[in-house]
Chain A
Amino acid sequence: MFLDCGGKPECLEKKPTHVRGEHANSTHNRSQPGSEPGEPLPEMLQLPLVVTVQVDLVLVLISSLAFLTRLSCLSYPNAVVFDEVYYGQFVSLYMKRIFFIDDSGPPLGHIILALGAYLGGFDGNFVWNRIGAEYPMGMNVWSLRLLPALCGALCVPLGYLLALELKFSHVSALGAAVLLLLENSLIVQSRFLLLESVLIFFVLLALLSYLRFQNSTSSSWSRYGWLLLCGVSCAAAVGVKYMGLVSYLLLLGVASVDTWNVIGDRAASHLSVCVQCFCRFMCLLVVPALLYIFWFYIHLSVLNHSGPHDQLMSSAFQASLKGGLSRITKGQPLEVAFGSQVTLRSSASHPVPCWLHSHKANYPVRYENGRGSSHQQQVTCYPFKDVNNWWIIKDPNRQDLVVDTPPKPVHHGDVIQLVHGMTSRFLNSHDVAAPMSPHAQEVSGYIDFNVSMPAQNLWRVDITNREAKSEVWKTIVSDVRLVHVNTSAVLKLSGVSLPEWGFRQLEVVAEKAFKVHSSSLGWTVEEHRYGTSQEQKDREVELHSPTHIDVDRKISFWAKFVELQWKMLTLKQEESEHKYSSSPVEWITMKTNIAYWLHTSTNAQIHLIGNLVSWGVAHLSMLAYQLLAVIYLLRRRRGFKDISDGAWEQFVRLGCVCVGSWLVNFVPFLLMEKTIFLYHYLPALCYLHLLTPTLLEHVHTHLLSSPTHRRLLHVCVIGVLLYVFLCFWTFCPLTYGTPELSASQLQRLKWRDSWDILYRRQ
């Protein structure tokens, strides 16, 4: 394995010679030596079968080198590397088809990673708990890492083709490909179970196919194939990471400018303009939107088992998953009736999902701050399943607590009483300040202390998501507000924890401010059965026993999609710090690195460190482009045309694609408050590597006139390329994790003081 690795970079060493001897044009290679064209062929049947194939050998070479650098010894190290620990757990859940929520991005990225694992026969039985943990013998690490690595390798030829589509020469295209090829950070990021390379691949593919579409002059319908491909890859890019959205928006911007020019084409008929606009609209807006939803469809159809994140979802959602809640709720009666025994879950999953609860303990007569309470039984919200979560719905006009035959369902607007199953106290509220939120009313289980505090235990049922006017209260589906009849306050989860006397359960209050649309006011019936026992003793037994009958309850895919997407966008994770997190400004100078992996016993290690030379050159060329653009703009405005209009157009397009993409992929991070890492910068960096050679070509053709200057530029370029290669070669051990370096060698690799390189004490 090590020999393999050693052999690979030697192939790369030939690269600079290639640049020098670049013949620029693709080699025409007639693979089938057919008959000469001049020869007369009188009869049709005598026509020979001719296949003319053009192969761009440079492209082939570049691609094979890319595959070599990205794919060789992929299964080394045979241990969890950096964020594999994060993505791996989701791959495992995928293999077991267990539902999860990951707020970091849409599901396509996980689907792709899981696909690789599936093809390699991974069964999901691996605990991803720490970086550096060894993979077991039977696990096919190679297949896990294959798809990201393939995407990473394909980025190199894509860069090549993109430069060609921007109408630059093959030399520039080769330069761009070489820079991408020799970028250590891209190699590292491609070789593991990570998503950046997949994102970069789709974004580049989208751009390439759009430019292909735009550049093909023919009005043939085949070019719409490229547009469709563009739409698909946009959807894929957004589906992998939300960051793909900015590239998509940029592409839409470019496309709308082009469309505007199409509209301005007065030679074309109104109809053809309409058709063209419609096609663009379909391919670039409708198709991506549909596909984006389709990713969720796959996600939701594959993950149909309940799992650790169930609790974050609504009861209806949970009930649609196998196991978990659906096991309990399966076969419950649908319509809540007078006499029903129910558990009420708060619709708010903030701070935690919980159920309306009461227990044999009263509010303290005086709180710590000296305020008084009613001293009645506590009513709280409890985040665990418990027998004390059961409530019985009682008709205020009748005494018994059983369901009639036939059951008398509760409708929207009905007035009910709620009886706590285990203690038989009535849910009550009154004008007493709540323990933690004194602006709201206290909610209690009513105890008559004979202190002229009458029971106020009537509640009106207000179904907020009703479709008909007098809809029946349904289990799981209906979102209900309980409005206190005497005070018109609404039962609400305040989200505050009670102190020790309330067992740190969550406070439940009744609040007047019913205008605020807040999910903390809503409650759903989760577990439900028709009560049959008249006596308290029997009822307790009944409450302790599980419910079961069999009916399937489904919610539509659309409802699930909306809920999941909303949860993913609003799920707030605790702000976390990380040792290797960095600020966007540090990325430009690569001030921080990230240690990805360290061998358990030796100094072999993998770091995310970019190619410092090409990194610097890339940023210089970005500055140079902007400077040049400003000078051109001002001078053109004053009537000096330094370059022809065609060249100017090419220059502008280059700026839109490369500098524009860099900006949209970089600036949002400046505004983010999240913990961000160096690898977030890689998509932006790719465009700069495209910009460097193309800008040099622009300078070469349009700005340098004397042959001496041009020759000087050639020498500089070759020098820089050599230096880039040397830098790549030097950092190879940290990129591939092999060979192991001694402490002094590592010390010498610490080119910047701020880099964190690890030494193992021998």
Chain B
Amino acid sequence: MQCSDSIPSAQTGVGSHRERSGEPVRTVVSNLPFEDLKKREQPNRRYEGNAIRTNKYRLWSFIPMNLFEQFHRMANIYFVGLAILNFVPVVNAFQPEVALIPICIILALTAVKDGWEDFRRYQTDQQLNNTPCFIFSRKQMCFVERRWKDVRVGDFVRVLSNEIIPADILLLHTSDPNGVCHMETANLDGETSLKQRKVVPGFSSLVRVLPITKYLERPDKRRTGFGIDSLLLRGCMVRNTDDAAGIVVYAGHETKSMLNNSGPRYKRSKIERKMNTDVLFCVVLLFFMCLIGALGHAIWLETFSSMPSYIVPDSNGNYTPSVLAGFYMFFTMIILLQVMIPVSLYVSIELVKMGQIFFITQDVELYDEELDRRVQCRALNITEDLGQIQYVFSDKTGTLTENKMVFRRCSVMGTEYCHEENAARLAVISGANEEEEVTIYQQTKLPPLFPLEELQDVHTGDKNHANTQVTAASRRRSKVAAEAQSDMAFSSPLETVVVPDRKLILEVDRQMASIQTGPYLDFFLALAICNTVLVSSVTAQRQRVRVNVADLAGAERVGDVLRALTHIFCAANLSNESDGFHSSDVSDAAGQKVISSERKVKSGLSGSEEVCYEAHSPDEAALIHAAKAYGFTMMERTPHYVTVKLPDEALLKFEVLDILTFDSTRRRMSIIVRHPHTKEIIMYTKGADSAIMERLGNVFSGDKIKCVEQWCGWKAVCFSLKVISEQEFRAWSAVRQEALSAIEEKEERLMETANFIESSFTLLGATGIEDRLQESVPETIQALRRAGMQVWVLTGDKPETAINIAYSCKLLEHEDLVFTFSTSRKVLQCQLTNASVPEQTFTGPLMEPSIGLVIDGPTLSMAMSDELVELFVELCKHCRAVLCCRVTPLQKSAVVKLIRQKLRVMTLAVGDGANDVNMIQAADVGIGVSGQEGMQAVMASDFAITRFKHLQRLLLVHGHWCYSRLANMVIYFFYKNVAYVNLLFWYQFFCGFSATAMIDYWLMIFFNLFFTSAPPIMFGIMEKEVSDSTLLSLPELYKRGQHSEGYRRSTFWIAILDAFYQSLVCFFIPYWTYNGSDIGIFAFGTPMNTVSLFTIILHLAIEIKSWTAVHWVIMIGSVLVYFIVTLAYSAICISCNPPSDPYWIMHKQMADPMFYLVCILTTVVALLPR
């Protein structure tokens, strides 16, 4: 039927695509005709079902799979290797079964952890898979309720409003007469704005039983052609549309949301990398010790002319040759001294990091009251990297600034209107109390309930109605949360309330009165309609509040619903009655009595003001509210019409002929409309000043350009107009249509057509929008500076704006020497770089000027070309601040990578928008600011914060803590193991290097696993070397981490030497005490074990700088546990672990005063140097 038009074009497009990339063509056939067939015979059997499984293991494969995963870790292989070695009779040191214990415990612990995590994934999968949905069944000729997991490719699925889409669906039908379906992709990318999807051309009504064949390419690649506008993605939510239906094209793991899900990121921290080399050192050390053991054994055997009775021959009665015996001994020694390589280190580090993350996320200071959000730690293993940052790369918009736009001034026909009052209001609003903001909120949000009721009736059923009431009620309940919500809709008070300029109003009024057209009117019309802002019905607005299915299901909600219903009606009535009062109140607060009372907007309160706008960007929100303030209110937007209410209450309904959407290369957008009265075709264009200026038809207002240039602090948006003749438009439209239907190089062709029509404009005017700095940004930057971090700002804005912001956030100081590189000629660039570098090196040390570097995108890419890159990096090293303007997302990440690789420094990138994702991923530590521009940055980040100022505490306090804690803990772990193992090593000199252990093997295992493991973990989680207030007031302390002073090679070796000394003391004091006496082997080992426990614990006690109750409990607990376990063990174990016979040894020792005297003396001597 009609669909046959679209299919061939799709076919050819995809066909050629396949030639290029080898993508398979996806043919989807409806399942309906085949419903009765067996599964194997169905046409879509090759495609995956919709059931998903993100858990790694199945029940039966858990153990082998998990073991396999775990053996990717070198340490585990090492220990298993040792355990196996122990089964070789000639080299075994312990009973082979016993030697398996430590590795088994480690493996089991990790397996339990993995298994638990996996089980939770399984549970969420099950929950998803069993979510109900509607599938069309041919037998019953209607949609029947099934589960998500039953959905297959080729099924027809129906989705109701506010339902989550079960699979990637090609939209074939919606309840909307325009064939549009809105979906919210918050689950996918966190963006709360609604996206519009259109029914596939030709399917205006639901085609039922037709076997339809479809060709589509894979969803993960670029989508061109067929599916782009009609694909409903899994995981998104249908909004504003009663129901939608379509055919499933991708299911389960093939859907876009599943393909995008690429597991948690694994980053290796700097300490961990360093630590791994130290583990290698330990291996070398171990090797030498074993070599000594082996040689010693061989030489010792050589000294005997005939074998004494205590040297046991092998089972045949022969003595092994001493060289061979030495060789065997080498391996036995490895087994004996294996603890040298800290097996529990990795597990402990993971535990410690979990603890650290717990404390970071628990920090109240990093909690954002407004958004009700804590700091999120998404990467689990790089907490300590926060303490070693040397370079900070920051985005500007939304990160340093609020990304809440304030309409500051405009210029129409070359006359500038300053809106001083708006500026004044800015100052007031920042100090405004909550009450005020609430009234503003009520004014803008609540009244719509009634006037738009008919809209609601059209769009929502009864059930929905209830839902929305509930959510509205929940908004009412929490004032601040509502605030937060309105923030996300880009309609915070700052943006919504624009106080008009008096002069301009008079101007507008005059024009309104005299004629129906004029530049002023056009300017405001452009402001009002040239955007992609959706006018949301109240329904949509409130649905945007996350409707949590689970929440609604909760029984206690029923009561809430009722309560909320009554509440909301009361509240609504109230606010309706007192509307006038409220708004004047607001104006009062802003100090704007006169003007607000003059405004006609006031009179239209009940009608016009209820409109809620859903803007894609804060700029648009600011502009459209500005237009509203002057009485030009956009009332409705459908795909084909825009309705604007003029100040005189007249409604203008424009027919929308085309929209050329905004993109970052053109940096402008246009809307082509037909004027309802004049029937002229008019194109309104708005865009960045440069994007408009270069395409102006007649350069009539040089002064205007000048004044825009002067607004460097603000984002300048220019508006222009072009009247297009009917023929011209028709010709262009044809080209445009062709481009639209093209599949190959569609983007390029669309761009071409847009560029073609967007030329020779008439400039209408310009607006200046200010983006406010977030609170305490200058202080934060200063603190980071003092902490020795280099702060760079990478922004897509123009240099003037960026520099202005840089000054205001104290990135640049006025006395700084600022180099600005902005050129398009490479030669010049060369010269500049060459010239400045020597200059730098000369002046740098002499007068210490702080140098700021400002560089723009094109220049940057030149600077980063091969021949200049070294010079550029060299130059940057000398700069106090670097500001990169007009850079693309890719350049951002390239800069980060460059600095990271060339200077070998720890980098941190912080950003909030999708354009920062690359940068965030490129840096060692990526921080996402969850703000205005959706969640993409947060999704890509390692840590997510809500405000820039949190960075200060996160880095200076938590970073420093985590770093010093972990560094100290790792060092301590090495020390602990070496100290303990050396006891055994020294003993080898007195047992003929025969790898005898004088400590019971069980106790040795317990020693590492239980007696001495809790204190260092606690130390790693809770140690507080310096208090947070000190760290914040003295950012210089941070430098310790930057230069890795907490964990250096020297620190490591000092710790090892200390361990050697202590083990010598711990061995030789008991040795001399007991030498020549009748002491038994294990009676000799017991005091040593005890002594080294005391030494190791007290060593830690000296390291601990602040003692809390937890510290005391764990430290004393560890000692107690040692004694209890040892006593119990030696009381129970009569002959359970030959050859050691611990029975009653501990008791006997503890009855001997000498034991205590030895313990005291040894501990004191061992720790005396400290």
Are A and B associated in one complex? no
| B residues whose Cβ falls under 8 Å from a Cβ of A | none
